Amino acid sequence: MKIIEKVEAIKQQELKATENLETMYNTIEEKNDDINAFVEVDIERARKTAAEVDEKIKNNEKVGKLAGLVIGIKCNINVADYTISAASPTLKDYIGSYNATVINRIMAEDGVIVGLTNMDEFAAGSSTETSMYGPTNNPKAPGHIPGGSSGGSAAAIAADMCDITLGSDTGGSIRNPASHCGVMGFKPTYGMVSRQGLLDLAMSLDQIGAFGNDTSAIALMLDTIVGYDPCDCTTFKKPTTEFIDDINTTSLENTTVGVVNEFTEVTDDKINAVVNKQIDNMIDLGAEIKELSFNDVSLGLPTYYLINYVEFFSATRKYDGREYGERIEEVCGDEVARRLEIGSYISQKEFSGKYYNKAQKARSLIRNDFSELLNGVDVIAGPTVPKLPHKIGEEISTMDMYAYDVLTVLANITGIPASSMNAGDVDGIPVGLQLQAKPKDDHKILATMSALEN
């Protein structure tokens, strides 16, 4: 049953919201000790919400888009009365005192929030191994990382623990785990979704997005969370059309798909082979393929991380041990400490010109060049992640860890929409197809995903 079919079944009371919740909760109880996707569950609160949804329907009252769907939330997004720790000992005792804008919108649409999902500490990672709660296991490739930093949200979908989850994407943190876990993940255009209530990693790069097992799940969540928010000055005031209208797309006629040679050159051959089959499917659906070249690929990672280091250092100055739990430098893990140390160094006046200002110039170059790349196509298709996930606990170098993001950081640097959907597998391990488009062309991505799905 697709998610749109499930929500309609709930509205017709062929399936009760309470029944849907109990099914999901039983799965969490059965699997979470092994997978560690959820770090906090409030089943009594969720049961109360689900019962209210069923009562509304019984009384013929109007219910929302997400009526009775079970939702998981990454633990760096504020939900009142939950522990909003960002998986860090810094905030291990911080209880959310308010709801993020996206949470209020989910509640307004009768979504049933069941709990918080695991992540890399402060979203600083690509494997969900740096969490104070311990690593998350990949349900589709047991023993391997699920990707990060939103690994818990991706794993929860892959393990059928809930209907939709929220994650945040700063350099690929939705698309990377979506690829490794064989699910769908969508990072909207920067400014489409309010970031109010999200704990910053890098404010000019962060964006909240969704995970699901089908395009209707993504569409329903986007229709819920996309929109202007006066509390976030980066959000767009112009409304968009409904994403649910995109899920019945069956043809890619009159669609030009760009394939970037440099993306395949940095990717494992086995992954390219799987992705190329999806490119062939797009041709069969009527798409025209256009080969492209992008010479700034090697600029992506250094530009991204220099900006990330400085903005993360700035964002964490409030974690000084007075109002927000522990002093971050005294309790954080190695990767967070590394980013803080480098961020502190290159934030200094005598070094900002040498590093941060040059990174901003490189960002402008990448943005301009990528804009030109997108001019002649509707979407760009290619691999999401250039290599397969390593095994949990396997020691890899910092640069090898950062290399997971080489194909995803470009969308954050440029602010464009991007997604990942399952393209197949290599030796039983899922491989993702990444789709990218011009700013505010989020609909084109979802329609393309729908055509491939249908």
- Active-site positions read 74, 149, 173
CA distances from 148 to 29, 176, 343, 405 (A): 23, 6, 21, 10
Contacts (Cβ under 8 Å, ≥6 apart) of 35: 136, 137, 139, 155, 159, 161
Tokens 């990693």 sit at which residue? Answer: 201
Residue whose tokens read 């649409």: 109
* CA dist 253 → 245, 249, 259, 441 (Å): 17, 11, 17, 17
Rounded to 10 deg, the angle between the 3-11 and 17-35 helix axes is: 140
Which tokens is 297 given? 């690929």
Main-chain dihedrals φ then ψ at residue 408, nearest 5 degrees = -100, -25
Contact 135, 333 (CB under 8 A): no
If we measure between CA atoms, which residue out of 73, 71, 60 comes closest to residue 13? 60
